[in-house]
């Protein structure tokens, strides 16, 4: 069993990431991964998503959309997923670059017109735009933070997924 080593910088286990990168360089097929979530309906607009061995996460709609407001709705979870992915990218890439992050906050918001979702119009039911504002407290220079930002934007899996058309196959079993 390998020992987990966390650097003192940004509390990131960069040795683990570097080990995976080295393994992928030696065997490129290792990079092809598949991720999975399983969602169980709990009645009304409530559901729970199970991922790996973690406690399931709740989903519901706000009361004005017919839900009981027991959890974030799917579009809020999507915004959270982008923010979480960006946070991972900033932490990892800052650590590699030797940049200390004292604090970081990422605000993510999106514009969504409910006409299609509510069956009032046909058209696009998704976000018309998403924006994120990243606030990093660091002693690094503005140039170093800009380079960090550019690196993260260029390598975010969730950001890249949202920025391009991705084939989605939804089958009824």
The pTM for the full model equals 0.91
Residue 69 confidence (pLDDT) above 50 = yes
Q: What architecture is the 74-166 domain classified under in CATH?
A: 2-Layer Sandwich (3.30)
Residues whose CB falls within 8 Å of the CB of residue 59, separated by 6 or more in sequence, listed in order: 39, 45, 46, 47, 48, 49, 71, 72, 73, 74, 77
**CA dist list (Å): 5 to 13, 53, 58, 152:** 6, 22, 32, 23
Q: What is the pLDDT of residues 152-168, one digit of tens each?
A: 999 999 999 999 989 99
Rounded distance between C-alpha atoms, residue 137 and residue 125, angstroms? 36
Q: Look at residue 151 and give its three-state secondary structure.
A: helix
Domain boundaries, the chain: 35-72, 74-166
Q: What is the pLDDT of residues 132-145, one digit of tens each?
A: 999 999 999 999 99
């Amino acid at each position: 069993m390998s020992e987990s080593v966390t650097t003192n910088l940004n509390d990131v286990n960069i040795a683990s990431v570097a080990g995976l990168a080295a393994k992928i360089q030696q065997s490129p097929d290792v990079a092809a991964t598949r991720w999975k979530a399983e969602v169980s309906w709990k009645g009304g607009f409530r559901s729970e998503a199970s991922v790996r061995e973690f406690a399931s996460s709740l989903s519901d709609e706000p009361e004005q959309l017919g839900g009981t407001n027991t959890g974030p709705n799917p579009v809020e979870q999507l915004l959270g997923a982008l923010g979480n992915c960006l946070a991972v990218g900033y932490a990892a890439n800052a650590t590699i670059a030797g940049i200390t992050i004292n604090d970081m906050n990422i605000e993510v918001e999106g514009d969504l017109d409910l006409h299609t979702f509510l069956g009032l119009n046909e058209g696009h039911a998704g976000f018309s735009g998403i924006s994120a504002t990243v606030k990093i407290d660091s002693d690094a220079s503005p140039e170093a933070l800009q380079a960090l930002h550019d690196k993260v934007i260029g390598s975010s899996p969730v950001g890249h997924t949202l920025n391009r058309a991705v084939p989605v196959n939804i089958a009824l079993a």
